[in-house]
Amino acid sequence: MTGLDILDQISEAVVDFDAARAERLCGEAIAQGVPPYEVITGGLAKGMDVVSRRYEAGEYFLSELIMAGETMKEALRVIEPHLPKGAGETRGTIVVGTVQGDLHDIGKNIFANLARGAGFRVIDLGFDVSPKVFADEVEWSRPDLFGMSALLTTTMTNMGDTVAELERRGLRGGVKIIIGGASVDQAFAKKIRADRAVRDAVEGVAVCKQLMGG
């Protein structure tokens, strides 16, 4: 079996939500000497691209996006111990969380899984995260990207407070900010001085890739 074959098969396993097969094939690829980062980008991420395209085309639904994300998460567990320590060979680092007062984290969780599968290093702060906690993490981890999510119109204002906190602490310039959630749009992103608003997890990952230069 060649390296190319096995990566294609990994991609197929993601598309089929077959976690057991994806895990087994990732293990085999690494044993064959395929570099771990290539297993992610050439295998898992390729599969996720197919799933994302089908989702955008209306052929796959949220439940399938979650399943593909779960499949990737499980396969990544096999690969992670083999990855070089530190950020090194990743597409970039993203800090994510749901804003203060908001417990709605389903979209954010899907995004985090997809972003990991796309080769990003993701630091997930969970939900109900205060502006201070976000800013502390950005200061410590110095991520390339920072993503916030809010479902409610009553909590989306906390996104603005978080951006203001980053500005106050001189951290805003070093990070691109994307926001997501049912209530946000580009006009709101502009108003709070975030870089982009995204409609869903799939668009979120595409925008992150774009912001990192492709």
Binding site for other proteins (CB under 8 A): 17, 58, 60-64, 66-67, 70, 101, 103-104, 106, 109, 128, 152-154, 182-183, 199-200
Cβ 155 to other proteins shortest distance, Å: 8
The nearest distance, CB 60 to other proteins, in angstroms, is 7
Q: How many CA atoms lie within 13 A of 40 on its CB side?
A: 24
Instruction: Name which of 91, 112, 79 is nearest 7 in CA terms.
Output: 79
CB of 203 to other proteins, least distance (A): 10
Nearer to other proteins, 175 or 201 (CB): 201
Comparing CB distances to other proteins, the nearer of 109 and 162 is 109
Cβ–Cβ < 8 Å for 68, 17: yes
Q: In the bound complex, what is the minimum distance in angstroms from residue 164's beta carbon to other proteins?
A: 20
69-79 in b/e form (b: 16+ CB < 10 A) is: bebbbebbebb
| CB environment 177-214: b (16+ within 10 A), e (fewer) | bbbbbebbeeebbeebebebbbebbbbbbbbbbebbee
Q: Which is nearer to other proteins, 105 or 144 (CB)?
A: 105
Q: Which is nearer to other proteins, 82 or 104 (CB)?
A: 104
